[in-house]
Amino acid sequence: MDEQLFFKKLNNLCTSEEIFDFLSSLEVLSDTMAAGALQRISEVEVDDSGLKNPGVLENEVFRALCLQFEFESSKLSNTGLLNALQALVMLCIDPQSTLMVSLLSESEERLGKAQLTVENLCALGESLLELESPSCAMLQQIVNHMQEKDIEKWTPREIVMVYKILQLTARERKQYQNLLNRLNSVTLPAVSQLNPNFASVILNSLVVLCQTQAVALVTALCKHSAKHVPYFTDYELVNVLDAFLYFGHREQIFTEALEMHVPQSILTMHPQTVCKVMQYCCKKAILSKPIFDAVAESFISSADRLTTDQIAEYIIPFGTLNYLPPSASSLFRRLETVLHTRLSHFQPHTLVNLLHSCVLIQRYPLNFLPKIFSPYFLQKLQAQPPGLNGVVTSQLTQLFLTVTLECPFYEGPKLLPKYQVKAFPMPHSSCDVHLLKRVKTGLLYLLKKRIYFASEVSTPYFYAVDIEIKLDEEGFVLPVAQREEVHKRIALCVDGQNRFCANSHNLLGEEAIKQRHLQLLGYEVVQIPYFEIESLENCRKMAEYLHKKIFPHTYG
* Per-residue pLDDT tens over the stretch 327-373: 999 999 999 999 999 999 999 999 999 999 999 999 999 999 999 99
Q: Is residue 207 part of a domain?
A: yes
pLDDT of residue 556: 61
Collapsed DSSP state (helix, strand, coil) of residue 470? strand
Domain boundary among 226, 249, 272: 249
Q: Is residue 348 part of a domain?
A: no
Q: Are residues 8 and 134 in the same domain?
A: yes
E-only strand ranges, 472-519:
477-478, 488-495
Domain count along the chain = 3
pLDDT of residue 427: 52
Could you tell me if 317 and 278 are in contact, meaning their C-beta atoms sit under 8 angstroms apart? yes
- Spans in the chain with pLDDT lower than 70: 132-136, 170-173, 426-429, 555-556
Query: Domain span at residue 42?
Result: 1-145
Domain boundary among 145, 173, 201: 145
Q: Please state, in angstroms and rounded to a whole number, the distance separating the CA atoms of residues 142 and 144.
A: 5
* DSSP-assigned letters across all residues of 35-95: HHHHHHHHHHHEETTEES-GGGGG-HHHHHHHHHHHHTGGGS-HHHHHHHHHHHHHTT--T
Could you tell me if 78 and 106 are in contact, meaning their C-beta atoms sit under 8 angstroms apart? no
Q: Are residues 140 and 157 in the same domain?
A: no
pLDDT of residue 119: 82
pLDDT of residue 48: 75
pLDDT of residue 142: 85
Q: Is residue 404 part of a domain?
A: no
Could you tell me if 502 and 437 are in contact, meaning their C-beta atoms sit under 8 angstroms apart? no
Q: Are residues 102 and 196 in the same domain?
A: no
Phi, psi (5° rounding) for residue 147?
Answer: -60, -30
Domain boundary among 249, 283, 315: 249
Q: Is residue 37 part of a domain?
A: yes
Question: pTM, whole model, 2 decimals?
Answer: 0.84
Q: Please state, in angstroms and rounded to a whole number, the distance separating the CA atoms of residues 321 and 511.
A: 10
**What is the sign, positive or negative, of the torsion defined by CA atoms of 323, 327, 330, 335?**
negative
Q: Please state, in angstroms and rounded to a whole number, the distance separating the CA atoms of residues 408 and 403.
A: 6
